[in-house]
Amino acid sequence: MDVHARNANFAADTAISRIATRQHGVISLAQLERIGVHRQGRTTRLRQGRLHRIHRGVFAVGHPGLSKAGRWMAAVLACGPGAVLSHTSAGELWGMLRSRRPPSPAAVDVVLHVTVPSKGARRRPGIAIHRSRTLTPGQVTERLSIPVTTPSRTLADLRRRLPRPQFAAALRQAEFLGLAIGPILEADGTRSELEARFLALCRRRRLPRPEVNVRAGRFTVDFLWRDHRVVVEVDGWDSHRNRTAFEDDRARDLTLKGLGYEVLRVTWRQLERDPGAVADALRGVLRK
C-alpha cells in the first residue's frame, strides 16, 4: 500500500472513530459513505474485525459488544432519517421505566421501539417500528445524543400500551425525576384505577372533593385538600416493588410535612377491605 493510500485509510479510521465515539460505538452506512468508506473499504474492515454488522446498514466499531445506549442508537440509525427511540425503549432511556438486563450481543429477541415518519423504514429484526403521522418536531429531542421522543410524548405513547398500574408507576417516576411532562390525565384528573377508586370513595362518603394530581411544593400529589393542608397518596404494590421506591416516597413525605402538609397514604388493600375506616380517618383529619 502506498503512502497516499495509507494516509487515506488513517484519515478514514480517524473519522470513523470520531463518529462512533459520539454515537455509543456505532456508525451507519450513510455516514461511512460520506467519509469515503465505500464497499471495498467496508468489506476489508469487516474481514479484519474493525467493523461488525449490527443491523442492515449499521455497524459497531471495534467490537460487537454494545452498551444499551449503543443498541438504542443502532436501532434508530437502522430506521433511517427522522427515526427516534420511542415507547418502552424511550421510557427506559428517560429513566421512567426500569431497564431490563442487557441481552447478549447476538440476541434479537429483545424488541427495541422506534417511531418513524408515516412513510419509511423497512422491517428490522429486533426492532418494533411505529409509523406516525402525528409526531411533531416539538415532540422530538435528544438524550445522551440519541434521538428520542420527549418525556410527554413518551408518556402519551406508553399510556396506550401499558397496563394502568405500570403507566401510573412510569408517570410517578417521571415526576420524581423532574421530567417536563404535560397533563396526561383522565377527565376526572385521575391517572390510575386506584386513584379513580379513591375519588369514588370520597364521593360515596360525602367527603369534600379534593384537587387531583396537582402541585404541592415541588411535587405532584395524588389528592390535595388545599385549605386543610392535607395530602393523600394512594399506593399500589407496583409503586413499591423495591426499597428505593419505598425510601423515595418516605423522603417525599418528609419534604411535604416540612412545608406544612399532613400526608396520609392509602393502599389498595385498605380501599378494598375497609373503605369505611379510610373515610373515617380522612374525615377526622379534615376536621382539624
Report CA 106 to chain centroid distance, whole Å.
24
Confidence class of residue 161 from pLDDT cuts 50, 70 and 90? confident
Q: What is the pLDDT of residues 9-64, one digit of tens each?
A: 778 888 999 999 999 999 999 999 998 889 998 899 899 999 999 999 999 998 88
Query: Strand, helix or coil at 121?
Result: coil
For position 107, what pLDDT does the model report? 42
Q: What is the pLDDT of residues 253-286, one digit of tens each?
A: 999 999 999 999 999 889 989 999 999 999 999 9
Domains belonging to the chain, first-starting first, are 3-61 (no CATH), 68-161 (no CATH), 193-286 (3.40.960.10)
d(CA 122, CA 84) in angstroms, rounded, equals 15
Specify which residues 73 forms β-bridges with.
Answer: none
Question: Which residue type does 32 have?
Answer: L
Confidence class of residue 135 from pLDDT cuts 50, 70 and 90? confident
What does each C-alpha distance from 266 to 174, 273, 284 come to in angstroms? 21, 12, 15
Query: Strand, helix or coil at 256?
Result: helix
Confidence class of residue 143 from pLDDT cuts 50, 70 and 90? very high
